[in-house]
Structure 1
Amino acid sequence: MTTGSVLLAKAVARLREVGIDDPAPDARILLAHALQVDRSRLTLVLHDEVTPEQATAFERFVDARCNRQPVAQIVGLRAFYGRDFVVTQDVLDPRPDTELIVDLAISQPFASVLDLGTGSGCILLSLLAEMPDAIGIGVDLSDKALEVAERNAAQLDVATRATLMQGSWFDPLEPTKQFDLIVSNPPYITKDEMGALAPEVHDWEPHMALTPGGDGLEAYRRIISRVAEFLVPSGRMLLEIGYEQATDVTALCRAAGFKDVLVHKDLSGKDRVVAASGLDRC
């Protein structure tokens, strides 16, 4: 008889051998997925007999994790701001640091929001879920990413308030369209930093969403250079940044006419979001 506890112990050992830090949580998530039980109930069923089909599925999941595929991609879901989002290889794996944008956004009222480079839709759709009277548009260059965002919008029951558009930054929008809030987690990893990324990121996440190449600032230049066209006079812009990019992105915002520019730190104490408002249109 094979039990979940036996499979779990073997999996933890395998994952540790290939260099995965703290493998036990990963193994537990994968086992719960294979057994099709809620993670909170896994301990209750660990000593039950596992079917051959469940064991085979779990072995396949562990093989994928040994190949450094992210857990979220294997199980197809990632929790973000208290909700589960569909995740595939076509989108970035939503990260806890990005939740800071949602915190800052909902700290003030808004009726309309634009999310540039929406990916899975985790920012846009979380904002619409938190603000039930708001509407929003998500733009992404990847049609595959937009398919994922569409699934998430339906799953979160906000599809009627979310419009998803394919294109580069502001290009798909009507010239007269304006928003109370513009948010973005654009690609910002420098060309030199790409080689140092963990295999889970470098080998499995879309490079288009990770880096613009060069100094990592090109996306900010393009967004900030046109933001005045699409932001209402009292509007705000929130940009996720790399932890060493605050000075450069802040300078770009001030040069574009934003009078109030603040840098907010994540839970690790690193610069993570630039908030800009008070746009001077003179």
Structure 2
Amino acid sequence: MGCGTGCVGIALAREVPRVKVWGVDILPEAVHASRENARRNGLPEARYTAIQSDLFGWFCTSEGEGGAGVDSRPRAERIADVHRHSFDLIVCNPPYLLPSQYDALPPTVKHWESRLALVGDAYRESKQYLYFQELCEYGVAMLKPDRLKDPELRTIPNLVFEVGLQAELVASLMEKSKKWTNVEVHLDDTQQPRWITAISVH
């Protein structure tokens, strides 16, 4: 989710030959770039599929009001049956900067990074943790339950995503939801919270 140029998904596919990767991004230029990078790295479409979608919207049914973000059904119920509980791992780089943080970024970063990729859309901007809430609620519906997992994957994290200053609060909300276990906040090289790993409970 939020695949950008595809570097993480492509690296996973190259390191683990049996892996099939779905790269998802809202920006058409990112989807195009990830497809091209997969091709340049020798990955056929059968192993790397790039989709333009606002987070999980492409994987949802069109019942209710039309998919992710505007449907009255609980998020976990919106995922289409064909995609439900069909993924082993979700890796996500969601927008995690606050608008004030984006404004303070150096011009060199703003030149290369889309504001939408770093901060998100106007509605979600006003709801600081909505991206993470959607990620965690849809994620449970997308990920395989224990009974369907490869035995080698049952004890390792199946959700990995980047965060910023909100890391501890997001981790706390995940633990309180009872939908995730082994929730851990990891630090980057500058000792700042940078990503969270967790295992779905189902």
TM range (shorter): 0.7 to 0.9
* Paired letter, 2:172: A
Choose from 229, 232, 241 the match for 2:144. 232
User: What is the CA distance between 1:256 and its match in structure 2?
Assistant: 5.2
The structure where helix makes up a greater share of residues is 1
Distance 2:81 2:172 in 1: 26
User: What is the CA distance between 1:166 and its match in structure 2?
Assistant: 1.2
Establish whether residue 223 from structure 1 lines up as the match of residue 135 from structure 2: yes
Larger radius of gyration: 1
Distance 1:252 1:124 in 2: 27
Q: Does the 8 A contact of 1:175 with 1:229 survive in 2?
A: no
Q: Which residue of 2 aligns with 1:272?
A: 194
User: What is the CA distance between 1:157 and its match in structure 2?
Assistant: 0.9
Q: TM-score, normalised by structure 1?
A: 0.55
Q: Which runs of 5+ in 2 are unaligned?
A: 60-79, 147-156
Higher relative contact order (CA 8 A, sep 6+): 2
**SS of residue matched to 2:158:** strand
Q: Compute the RMSD of aligned alpha carbons.
A: 1.7
Q: TM-score, normalised by structure 2?
A: 0.75
Q: Which residue of 1 aligns with 2:42?
A: 157
Distance 2:50 2:115 in 1: 21
* Paired letter, 1:210: L
Q: Which residue of 2 aligns with 1:97?
A: none
Q: Which residue of 1 aligns with 2:5?
A: 120
**SS of residue matched to 2:57:** coil
* Paired letter, 1:252: L
**SS of residue matched to 1:223:** helix
Q: Does the 8 A contact of 2:87 with 2:143 survive in 1?
A: yes
Distance 1:227 1:180 in 2: 11
Deviations 1:11-59 (A, max 9, x none): xxxxxxxxxxxxxxxxxxxxxxxxxxxxxxxxxxxxxxxxxxxxxxxxx
What is the 5 A alignment of 1:35-74? none
What is the 5 A alignment of 1:115-264? 116-160=1-45, 161-173=47-59, 174-177=80-83, 178-212=86-120, 213-214=125-126, 216-234=128-146, 236-242=158-164, 244-254=165-175, 255=177, 257-264=179-186
Q: Tell me the matched-pair count.
A: 164
Runs of 4+ with deviation above 3 angstroms: none
* Paired letter, 1:229: A
User: What is the CA distance between 1:124 and its match in structure 2?
Assistant: 0.7
* Paired letter, 1:143: P
Q: Which residue of 1 aligns with 2:64?
A: none
Percent same amino acid among aligned pairs?
29
**SS of residue matched to 1:180:** coil
Deviations 1:86-141 (A, max 9, x none): xxxxxxxxxxxxxxxxxxxxxxxxxxxxxx11110011111111111111111111
Q: Does the 8 A contact of 2:168 with 2:185 survive in 1?
A: no
Distance 2:201 2:93 in 1: 24
Q: Does the 8 A contact of 1:181 with 1:237 survive in 2?
A: yes
Q: Which runs of 5+ in 1 are unaligned?
A: 1-115
Aligned in 2, Cα 1:214/1:192: closer, same or farther, shift over 3 Å? farther
Distance 1:147 1:264 in 2: 31
User: What is the CA distance between 1:175 and its match in structure 2?
Assistant: 3.5
Aligned in 2, Cα 1:214/1:190: closer, same or farther, shift over 3 Å? farther
Q: Does the 8 A contact of 2:160 with 2:195 survive in 1?
A: yes
Q: Does the 8 A contact of 1:224 with 1:256 survive in 2?
A: no
Q: Which residue of 1 aligns with 2:74?
A: none
Distance 2:90 2:138 in 1: 12
Deviations 1:42-91 (A, max 9, x none): xxxxxxxxxxxxxxxxxxxxxxxxxxxxxxxxxxxxxxxxxxxxxxxxxx
Distance 1:171 1:256 in 2: 24
User: What is the CA distance between 1:214 and its match in structure 2?
Assistant: 3.7
Q: Does the 8 A contact of 2:2 with 2:94 survive in 1?
A: yes
* Paired letter, 1:247: E
**SS of residue matched to 2:145:** strand
